[in-house]
């Protein structure tokens, strides 16, 4: 990853302007690692019946 800002100096944090998150989102290996990590720690789970992934705190 090249040098990137999460927030620019002397500015408030804005998620849409976060260069690091943007880079991670464009990097397929980072996204796969993050997905695998979330599944492994139980933050998301696979529902075999529906074939969908869902967050453990999701309320319909």
What's the mean per-residue pLDDT of the chain? 96
**Model-level pTM?**
0.75
CA dist., res. 4 & res. 23, Å (int) = 9
Contact 27, 37 (CB under 8 A): no
The confidence score (pLDDT) of residue 59 equals 86
Please tell me the chain's helix, strand, coil percentages from 3-state DSSP, rounded to the nearest 5.
Answer: 40, 15, 45
Contact 4, 19 (CB under 8 A): yes
Q: Which residues pair with 52 in a beta bridge?
A: 47
């Amino acid at each position: 990853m090249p040098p990137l800002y999460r927030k620019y100096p002397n500015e408030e944090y804005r998620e849409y302007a976060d260069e690091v998150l943007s880079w991670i989102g464009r990097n397929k290996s980072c996204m796969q690692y993050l997905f695998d990590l979330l599944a492994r720690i139980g933050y998301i789970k696979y529902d075999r019946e529906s074939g969908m992934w869902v967050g453990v705190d999701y309320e319909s």
